[in-house]
Amino acid sequence: MLSAFLNCFKIPELKKKIIFTLIIISVYRIGCFLPTPGVNGAILAEFFTRMNANASGNIFGVMNMFSGGALGKLTIFSLGIMPYISSSIIMQLLTAVIPALEKLAKEGQAGYHKINQYTRYGTLLLSTVQSFFIALWLESPQAFGGFTIVNNPGWGFRLVTVVTLTTGTLLLMWLGEQIQERGIGNGISLVITAGIISAAPSAIRNLILLMSAKTAGASQLQPLTLLIMVVFLVGVIFAVTFITQGQRRIPVQYARRVVGRRVYGGQSTYIPLKVDTAGVIAIIFAQSIILFPATIASFIPNRAFQAFTSFITRGHFWYYAIYGILIMFFCYFYTAIVFNPVDVAENMKKHGGFVPGVRPGTQTAEFLDFVLTRITFAGALFICVIAIMPDAIMASFKVPYLVASFFGGTGILIVIGVMLDTMKQIETHLLTRHYEGFMKSGQLKARRT
């Protein structure tokens, strides 16, 4: 693998793409330290430090992770790229249910550009709404234990915050598109990955502090415990990679057709059904829904409502039960949106294809739905385990949530998936130029984005 990395810089075109990608990511990280005017950054950083320590159910903690810690400092990239991701998911769902958008998606490159333009408009709208509510949240001392975050609250601060954060998101969207066009890898995904990985030094620092801290004459984190955590992390990475790459290949045979003196068809291929079609999208949807009541409770000083939301916060049985059910639901929901067995069966029938042992048409659609339902169940169960794993690690090893989040959850799914995608693209360049790729045997598979 080391020789493959060295070979990357022997190909001029690939070298330019890698350097350009690194420059854009550096610009993004610099922007994560440019503060928004009118905010007491020290108190805000202390609030997020406490929240990471006790992992309280707050949607702003999730947003802070995706923004690479920028929300914790309220910098110009505080919203991160999540408004664009949310807009993309919404457009993908609308494309499946609105005939006009579905027709537009089938028009090829022109339709893609049109839908992408609608996605940008949606990003602008979502960024404006989210930044306005963040401004209201910052102006509320009750949300920060009575501390004042904004020195001069009012419409002036709100307008500056909305313009700053919205512009930062649109700039991030543009930077991601530049990576997509002139760099290597999926630009938007790489921006999110860079933000998540940026928390690694803080997590390592917390581990060192736990090992050096003494309780009753002994370290809070024993070396044996740390070794077990490292082995466990390697196992989690292997399992996530295995499931992310996992496929059920349905064999497809095309009948021979004789046209004049030529024979067409007759070849064999397969339909790759992914075990984890939804991936991190199911966790994002589930987190947004289950954390929303706890976030609203911080704005509404109603005892009855706050008592209700206390049952669905981290650490309670109902939180994990509802969280798991939501993940299972969204895994099936998103899979049904992106893969239609009826359409696939009809297209196969039109082109003379069939699954050996299954009649074309309706029976093929039922067979594909049968297989997809069962492998999706296995993938959804695995996603549930990965999503809840940080809480289990935090409770078992007594480590902060920032450290535990690297053992599961949304972050590790995104990082591993994006790394596999990027390695796949680099490997394609290497093999095209007759260099050895990352894998001597087998082949990396690109995931669905």
CATH code for position 156: 1.10.3370.10
Q: How far is CA 29 from CA 36, 70, 120, 178, 189, in A?
A: 15, 9, 22, 16, 15
Looking at the chain, the whole-number percentage of residues with pLDDT higher than 70 is 83
Mean pLDDT, range 395-409, rounded to an integer: 75
* Per-residue pLDDT tens digits for 162-192: 999 999 999 999 998 899 888 888 888 888 8
Mean pLDDT, range 81-88, rounded to an integer: 84
Residue 68, pLDDT above cutoff 70: yes
Residue 50, pLDDT above cutoff 50: yes
Burial grade of 254 (CB within 10 A; 0-12, 13-18, 19 or more):
middle
Residue 328 counted as domain residue: no
Residue 148 counted as domain residue: yes
**Top-confidence residue, 256 or 339:** 339
* Per-residue pLDDT tens digits for 98-119: 888 888 888 878 888 888 899 9
Residue 57, pLDDT above cutoff 50: no
Q: Do the bridges between strand 247-254 and strand 268-274 make them parallel or antiparallel, or are there none, so unpaired? A: antiparallel
Residue 128, pLDDT above cutoff 60: yes
Residue 108 counted as domain residue: yes
Residue 18 counted as domain residue: yes
Q: Which pTM was predicted?
A: 0.77
User: How far, rounded to the nearest angstrom, does the alpha carbon of residue 66 sit from its chain's CA centroid?
Assistant: 8
User: 215 - beta bridge partners?
Assistant: 218
- Cβ–Cβ < 8 Å for 410, 287: yes
Number of H helices, E strands in the chain: 19, 7
In the chain, the number of structural domains is 1
Residue 56, pLDDT above cutoff 50: no
Domain that holds residue 16: 1-198
